[in-house]
Chains A and B, each alone.
Chain A
Amino acid sequence: MKTIRAIALLSVGVTALAVTAPTMAQDQVILRLLPYHTDAMVENYNPNNPTGPQQRMRDFAYEPLWIDNIWHPGENEEALAVGWEIGEDLKSITYKLREGVKWSDGEDFNADDVVFSFEYAKAHPDYPMGIDVYNGETGNVVSAEKIDELTVKFNLNEPDALARYGLNGLYPLPEHVWSGVDDPKNYANLEVVATGPWTKPANFSRNGHDLCRNELSRYNDENAIDCLRFPQMNGNEQTVAALSAGDLDWLGDGLTDPDVTFLPQSEFNNYWLPAGSDVNLQLNTTKAPFDNLEFRKAMTVAIDRQTLLDISTFGLTTATKFPIGTGEMYNTWYDEAALEPYKALMEYNPEEAIAILDAAGFVDADGDGWRDNPDGSPIAFGISMPSGWTDWVNTGQTVAENLQDIGVNASLKTVDQGAWFDAVPRGDFDVYVMWTNGGPTPYNQYSPMFNPRLMVEGQIDFQAMHQMQIPEVEAALDVFKGSADEATQKAALTDIHKAVAENLPVISLFANPIWYEYSTRRFSGWVTEDDQKFRPQVHDGTRERVWHALALKPIDGAEF
């Protein structure tokens, strides 16, 4: 008993000691945000290092040329550039740069930095900065030319009205610093020189670091936040608890049932989940029975999408209206009247599915209780899912049950995440649940989906897994890319939509949520459902996130 008493005394003593430890005095306004999960913070501030530093340094410290305002295209998008112009022949694009911008070490930002950054990206293919810049898909940019101190012209290989969307996301580097860096991939960039509102790393430890105000930033009049704090965290238990306790203000985690697991934890907790990119079933149409259009039609009407929305994905996803592989995120691009005839393909109708299969000859030939191919060979396939991706596993399960209801022997097949990724390039799969690529226009989604180069065995892309080549879609994509005129682009897109709805290369399911959680404990000015000023995510890839941080103002009396 003596031992137990001694231990009890010891732990009480230790606890008292820790509780009385003084906390550091803080009069700075600090925004705590978590753009990514990690087990240990690494002292690396390289804006193009995709293992973490990029999440902290882009947008906040390093600015892009242009911020595509995805929700309000054309509004207030200037960043380091203040204007752009596409050449008459669509073979060039010229950016007008902002005047008077200084790097945080006092040097002027000018056209030389932009040209340098382009050449630098080209010279270091293992260092993917401004990733679309010289990508064969969207860019085909051959050179960058300095016209004057504040004007840069990019020359293209062939006419391309969309090249600017790739170039907009170039984060220029200061030539006077990076021209001396020979191996950028391994460069830790400890002396940050950038133009954004927060450029000074501080208080680094394995537990996190701060990024403090750039005294030379043009945002200082409106910027109420002295430092951003990036804590090290991993796991949803931790992040939810931290946000509830005031150790985090801004988060973008995928949460299960947030009304139960998240909202009640603190009166300041809030979330909003706008519609993001669509999720589709990718069918391997090189195989029977998926090569049969009637079978694909039966599949799409056999799926109970309301159950997918409400139960499988916990009510966090958004319905998709038309069988076109994209959804609400691009709703300003739909021609609803033209797509109306295809709406029935999205409605749950198992009787119709059975009728389609019967008519097309998919009947039970060998008497085992499951339907077979018209040639008599049996049908049995798995819907592959990485184990642990709960909402998608549920989705696969529901779809498999829906198909079993109409006599199709489909089953859920969960595999290790690595194996799941690995099987795609080789074409070794039947059915996958798959995300779609987002981007400033629907072109970014359909282009990889229908690019024949991405359907070659050994290099099959996640988006092109269906491997169905549709010439009219490819032609319409060329029209879209070859015109800067919005009406022409919309007409081309309607052609694409109709071709997808008629051929069903993918089966549309629902739109994934955009994950966004925040605390109103210290700051006001958050994006809400009533104030949809811009996309609210905290993650890299949402260039609007710098506006979000700048819009936040400390609440009176809040403790930092």
Chain B
Amino acid sequence: MIFLARRLAFYFAAFFLAITFNFLIPRLMPGDPSDRIIASFQGRLNESQVAAIRQSYGLEGSLWEQYLTYVGSVFRLDFGISTVQFPEPTASLLFYGATWTLVLVGLAIALAFTIGSIMGIHAAWNRGGFFDSFFTPINVMMNAFTPAIVALVLFYAFSLQLRWFPLGRAHDPNLMAAFNFQFIGSVLYHATLPVLSIFLVSFGGWHLGMRNVMINLLNDDFVILARAKGLSDNRVKYRYVARNAILPQITSLALSVGYMLGGALVTEQVFNYPGLGKFTFTAIGSRDYSFIQGQLLLLTTAVLVANLLSDIANVILDPRLRKG
């Protein structure tokens, strides 16, 4: 309990520091949100118009006053108005982007973690065997590719040339969102290539991590004892070794789940997938403060919550931590 309480205090401090940086970093970039709007008129605005636009798109008051307003709005969950998509509430864009990012990156992480870990277990158990010496190097190599290359290759081959998969979007634009077979089918169909492009570059990492930890554990006394007791191979493999080996994997999983809300910029860009990464990229380019802040806040919260959950999961999975 003390362990968790200490962690909670740490998370609160980290959160406060993070929202302060969320506020400052966008403002340290040169330019402000109204610049893009004003530049788009190519000098055809007079001074009173420029002033009026700055006032309506930009922010009023000193930096300190803006900061206080911002902290207040964070606790009221008020994300403000987007300037890229004026006057759309940032919250609705964040929600829209986050939904699709969760579908895309969530599916990819779930697949990569499951398949990668299972392959890692197999490779470690039969280390030196065919499976290990064939898949381990290949998976490490896949892990070294950048998402940009893989996404573009998949897009070019399967969307452009073979036309097996759509050119982009999260679902058929003619379908309205609904919880039915047709819509979900369309979502999965559209997600196949983007998910694959993230999966291909990430499952090798899980494979390698799982394999390394497993191999270390395989020589431990408790494993030898378990075998000596005559337990079945599968029981030793999964209940004894894998359960211990999964602990550091869970911590990394929590981190990647947290970073998930950062979006998958390159994949989203190539497949025109309406996720957070794409929105954030545009927002940074045009200094859309409220969107950048909202997105960073979402990311901060997600990373902190995921870490907290991994702490709790570790406590549950590892009895040694319970005494704190």
Contacts and interface: CB of A to CB of B under 8 A. Distances in A.
Nearest to B172: A21
A24 B175 CA distance: 9
Contacts of A39: 97, 274, 278-279, 282
A186 B57 CA distance: 11
B279 A136 contact: no
A186 B87 contact: yes
A557 interface: no
Interface stretch (A46-54, A397-405, A506-514, A522-530): A46-54
Given A11-B192, A49-B86, A51-B37, A421 B31 contact: yes
B272 A234 contact: yes
Interface stretch (B15-23, B180-188, B220-228, B242-250): B180-188
Contacts of A462: 39, 42-43
Interface string B169-180: 100111110000
Interface in B241-291: 269-270, 272, 274, 278-279, 282, 285, 287
A487 interface: no
A205 B270 contact: no
A125 B182 contact: no
A382 interface: no
B318 interface: no
Contact of B42 (A14, A207, A232, A437): A437
Interface of A: 3, 11, 14-15, 17-19, 21, 23-24, 38-40, 42, 44, 49-52, 125-126, 128, 131-132, 134-137, 185-186, 188, 205-208, 231-235, 237-238, 241-242, 244-245, 247, 265, 416-419, 421-423, 437, 448, 454, 461-463
B35 A422 contact: yes
A135 B55 CA distance: 19
Nearest to A447: B43
Contacts of A206: 96, 274
B43 A448 contact: yes
Contact of A207 (B37, B55, B173, B181): B173
Interface in B160-216: 160, 163-164, 167-169, 172-176, 181-182, 185-186, 188-190, 192
B108 interface: no
Nearest to A208: B173
B112 interface: no
A42 B85 contact: yes
B167 A40 contact: no
Contacts of B269: 234-235, 237
B84 A421 contact: no
A421 B272 contact: no
Given A44-B88, A126-B55, A231 B173 contact: yes
B37 A134 contact: no
A14 B185 CA distance: 6
Contacts, number: 150
B314 interface: no
Nearest to A166: B44
Interface of B: 29-31, 35, 37, 39-49, 51-53, 55-56, 83-88, 93, 96-97, 115, 118, 152, 155, 159-160, 163-164, 167-169, 172-176, 181-182, 185-186, 188-190, 192, 269-270, 272, 274, 278-279, 282, 285, 287
A14 B188 CA distance: 7
A3 B118 contact: yes
Contact of B48 (A3, A125, A238): A125
Given A21-B185, A241-B160, A40 B279 contact: yes
Contacts of B181: 17
Given A39-B279, A238-B272, A14 B189 contact: yes
A237 B88 contact: no
B86 A461 contact: no
A356 to B, nearest CB: 33
A278 B173 CA distance: 40
A245 B166 CA distance: 10
Nearest to B39: A421
Contacts of A421: 30-31, 35, 39
A418 B29 contact: yes
A235 B274 CA distance: 12
21 contacts: A18-B172, A18-B188, A21-B186, A40-B279, A44-B88, A51-B37, A51-B83, A125-B48, A126-B52, A126-B56, A185-B86, A186-B87, A206-B274, A233-B168, A238-B272, A418-B285, A421-B31, A421-B35, A454-B43, A462-B39, A462-B42
Contacts of A50: 37, 40-41
Contact of A131 (B44, B272, B285): B44
A234 B277 CA distance: 13
Nearest to A454: B43
A185 B85 contact: no
Contacts of B31: 418-419, 421-422
B86 A51 contact: yes
A131 B270 contact: no
Contacts of A188: 87
A245 B84 CA distance: 29
Contacts of B40: 50
Nearest to B86: A51
Contact of A40 (B37, B42, B96): B96
Closest 9 pairs (CB-CB, A-B): A18-B189, A126-B52, A418-B31, A207-B173, A422-B30, A17-B185, A125-B52, A419-B30, A126-B56
B30 A418 contact: yes
B44 A132 contact: yes
B85 A52 contact: yes
Nearest to B35: A421
Nearest to B188: A14
Nearest to B170: A207
A511 to B, nearest CB: 17
A452 B141 CA distance: 61
Given A14-B185, A51-B83, A128-B49, 6 more contacts: A18-B188, A40-B97, A49-B86, A185-B86, A235-B272, A238-B272
Contacts of A49: 86
B45 A241 contact: no
A279 B115 CA distance: 54
Given A51-B83, A234-B269, A241 B88 contact: no
Give the one of A23, A132, A206 with max B CB within 10 A.
A206
Contacts of B169: 207
Contacts of A461: 43
Nearest to A124: B52
Contacts of B152: 237
A131 B96 contact: no
B266 to A, nearest CB: 11
A211 to B, nearest CB: 15
A125 B175 CA distance: 41
Contacts of A454: 43
B285 A233 contact: no
